[in-house]
A and B are shown apart, each in its own frame.
Chain A
Amino acid sequence: MKLLYFAWIRERTGRAEEDVELPADVTTLGDLVAWLRQRGEEFEHAFADPAVVRAAIDRTHAPLTAPIAGAREIAFFPPMTGG
């Protein structure tokens, strides 16, 4: 599965994108955040406050409760500040 990171989440994880193989018990976006957090200090830092993290599944906004089965591309980013 392809993961993308933007803005300060990208800076904290130290990467813009990566391909990952997920364990079978990672079934929601929330599970994915928990799994990412135990991958190292940089991920723990990036996802220290899951409440401020926004996510999109295949380029559509999704809540952390959303299932990720069948997703091709998941992105994590801070609240948007365009306009």
Chain B
Amino acid sequence: MAAAPAKIAVRVQREPFDQATEICHLSRLADVGAVVSFTGICRADGGRLAGLELEHYPGMAEAEIGRVAAEAAARWPILGATAIHRFGRIAAGEDIVLVVTASAHRAAAFAAAEFLMDWLKTRAPFWKREIFADGTAGAWVEAKDADDAAAARW
């Protein structure tokens, strides 16, 4: 019998998300033995930043994360994957991105979660700019070669 297709959910939203709810949702899928989650959080950078402004390409952002999630499901035997990415003004200390993967065993869940984040960072059309502690807009964050290298190893 062929395995059921992985339950993939992708959301791009301004509003905060609840990690516990999302993790719990995937952990309840049939035959799940392992759930791995990653949360990306907005840093204050030692008090220098009030937060970040996240710009995105509506439509393409969801589509691209969906393609990355489908690729993860094709590479590993995952039962579910959820990816949520926020846009707009995000205050220091708030969550920016969440990736949750569920599988029968931990190896696939770990690998798929890391792959999803590495590819999401280099493929999904989002751009960050810094907002200083005094509220003024700072520079656009530059892409890192290390992120490209992390994605290329897969």
Residues of A within 8 A of B (CB): 4, 6-8, 56, 59-61, 75, 77-83
Contacts and interface: CB of A to CB of B under 8 A. Distances in A.
B57 A77 contact: yes
Given A78-B127, A81-B126, A82-B126, 8 more contacts: A4-B57, A6-B55, A8-B140, A56-B57, A59-B60, A75-B60, A78-B143, A79-B143
A53 to B, nearest CB: 12
Interface stretch (B27-35, B101-109, B117-125): B117-125
B57 A59 contact: yes
B143 A81 contact: yes
Contacts of B124: 80, 82-83
Contacts, number: 73
Contacts of B126: 80-83
B114 to A, nearest CB: 12
A69 B61 CA distance: 23
Contact of B123 (A4, A61, A77): A61
Interface of B: 40, 54-57, 59-61, 63-64, 85, 96-97, 117, 120-129, 140-143, 147
B143 A82 contact: no
A82 B7 CA distance: 23
Contacts of A6: 55, 57, 125, 127
A62 to B, nearest CB: 12
B142 A82 contact: no
Contact of B60 (A8, A56, A81, A83): A56
B57 A83 contact: no
A83 B144 CA distance: 12
B83 to A, nearest CB: 10
Contacts of B129: 7
18 contacts: A6-B55, A8-B140, A56-B57, A59-B60, A61-B64, A75-B57, A77-B57, A77-B125, A79-B122, A79-B142, A81-B126, A81-B141, A82-B56, A82-B96, A82-B124, A82-B127, A83-B97, A83-B117
Contact of B127 (A7, A56, A59, A61): A7
A82 B57 contact: no
A51 B123 CA distance: 17
